[in-house]
Amino acid sequence: MAGNWKMYKTAAETAAFFEKFNPLIERSGHCEIVICPPFPFLSDAVAATRGTHVMIGAQNLCWAKEGAFTGEVCGPMIRSAGCSHVIIGHSERRQYFGETNEIVLKKTMAALDVGLTPIVCVGETLEHREAGQTEAVILDHCQGATSGLTPEQFAQILIAYEPVWAIGTGKTATPEIAADAHRVIRAHARQAFGKEAGDRLRILYGGSVKPDNIKKLMAQPEIDGALVGGASLDPISFASIVNF
Ligand code: PGA
């Protein structure tokens, strides 16, 4: 279960979150928990979760290892802050910051190079869905983000299916719609990287996941977990998603 805080929370709010959240997930050994705060508070979050099984991830990284890239943050920095994961190619990055498949692939490689687990996001817009292009877009994102990876590298990534029309809109994909998309992703993974790698891939669903819809989503065998935005900001609501 991964939480994406996006551009929310200050230092004090980050501390307050973990103070409430940590005791609520003490018994949730059944799943891996990753929280992705904004860059300035990654180290704070790592410190606040020491001794728990919560892992911390970044929401983005630069494809370069270091250099004259004003304002960017690279994989080695994120790793040395104590993070284990990084979200890559979120639809907000694709929409507002011009990220293409090519950039997403470079970032995925950069994350793997330093031992960060990439959570690679794919998903169609409402226009794509209405034009019957859902499957084509998902395949294009999957191919774009993973072509050139070895099966060993592919085995280290997570894919998040996030239909853009469901993000922050309160319109969750039905469990069946999400499961259909996950089947497309898994079939592609099997075909491109072999049956075993495809079977082992973990696919998260994201888009208006809330405490009251998580059970039905997770009842679909195709859905391995969730990438949660809005509902991950509140410790009680994210804990109840984790403990569904
Ligand atoms: P949401 O965001 O849960 O607020 O819809 C999901 C995401 O963008 O990762």
pTM above 0.95, yes or no: yes
Residue 231 DSSP class: G
Q: What is the pLDDT of residues 148-164, one digit of tens each?
A: 899 999 999 999 999 99
Ordered per-residue pLDDT tens for the chain, 244 residues: 999 999 999 999 999 999 999 999 998 888 999 999 999 999 999 999 999 999 999 999 999 999 999 999 999 999 999 999 999 999 999 999 999 999 999 999 999 999 999 999 999 999 999 999 999 999 999 999 999 899 999 999 999 999 999 998 888 889 999 999 999 999 999 999 999 999 999 999 999 999 999 999 999 999 999 999 999 999 999 999 999 9
Q: Which atom of ligand 1 is nearest to the CA of 166?
A: 5
Atom of ligand 1 nearest to the CA of 231: 3
Q: Which whole-number Å values give the CA distances from 167 to 84, 98, 170, 206, 244, in the listed order?
A: 24, 18, 7, 7, 20
For this structure, is 182 an active site residue?
no
CA distance linking residue 48 with residue 16, whole number of Å: 10
229 C-beta closer than 6 A to ligand 1: yes
User: What is the distance in A from the centroid of ligand 1 to the CA of 194?
Assistant: 30
Which residues fall within 8 angstroms of residue 90, CB to CB, at 6 or more apart?
A: 4, 59, 60, 121, 162
**Of 32, 99, 124, 162, which one is the catalytic site residue?**
162
Angstrom distance (rounded) from CA 169 to CA 142: 24
- CA-nearest residue, atom 1 of ligand 1: 229
Q: CA–CA distance from 114 to each of 49, 81, 180, 240 (Å)?
A: 21, 12, 33, 32
| Cβ–ligand 1 contact at 168 (below 6 Å) | yes
- Among residues 85, 90, 141, 188, the one annotated as catalytic is 90
Place of tokens 């989503």: 217
